[in-house]
Amino acid sequence: MNRLLVQLSCLLAVFALPAWSQDTPQLQLPRVTLSAGMHLINAQLAATPEQRTIGLMFRQEMPANEGMLFVFEQPAGQCFWMKNTLLPLTAAFVADDGTIVNLADMKPQTLDSHCSTQPVRYVLEMNKGWFAKRGLKSGSRLGGAPFERRK
């Protein structure tokens, strides 16, 4: 019952969210630097259920080498959609070791579901075409602290 109340609260919070502008950041999220070959990515981390629910909604622009890394507790089939997201994005579904499992171009303000082709713990959203412009595809590898092996 408590879990249902938490889920309903999160759902109500999403529908009650104001339309943020660039001057009013929706969340002050921690950042991590990732690498994709010689390219560096400045990614915000969305690691809690609330942060993942809000994601990049309502943002009107995002700098070229910035993105958002969604971090889940354990690998699972992950699906994303774009309701209330104004930017065209590409989602990279990423395995624990940083290998891109698959990519999905996502159209703004749609309910189309875009899913990983296998269980993943990470999803990196970048401006649409960012990966393609750099020759990154399934099997390419990202680097950075989230993907380093823990001993």
pLDDT the model gives residue 12 = 35
DSSP state of 118: S
Strand partners, 141: 99
The mean pLDDT of 16-21, rounded to a whole number, is 39
Residue 46 is encoded by which pair of tokens?
A: 């969305």
Counting the structural domains of the chain, the total is 1
pLDDT in tens, 103-117: 999 999 999 999 999
Would you state the structure tokens that stand for residue 135, as one six-digit string?
């020759």
Mean pLDDT of 10-20: 38
How far is the C-alpha of 88 from the C-alpha of 49, rounded, in Å? 22
Judge whether 56 lies within some domain.
yes
Beta strands at 66-76 and 39-46: parallel, antiparallel or unpaired: parallel
pLDDT interval class at 141 (50, 70, 90) = very high
Task: With respect to residue 81, please indicate whether it lies within any of the assigned structural domains.
Answer: yes
Q: Could you tell me if residue 107 is inside a domain?
A: yes
Angle made by CA atoms 86, 91, 114, in degrees to the nearest 5: 85
2, part of any domain: no
CATH number at residue 63: 2.60.120.1140
Whether 12 is in a domain gets the answer no
- Domain extent, residue 104, equals 20-147
Residue 82 has pLDDT above 60, yes or no: yes
> Identity (one letter) of the amino acid at 142?
L
pTM of the model: 0.82
In the prediction, which pLDDT does 27 show? 55
CA dist., res. 100 & res. 36, Å (int): 10
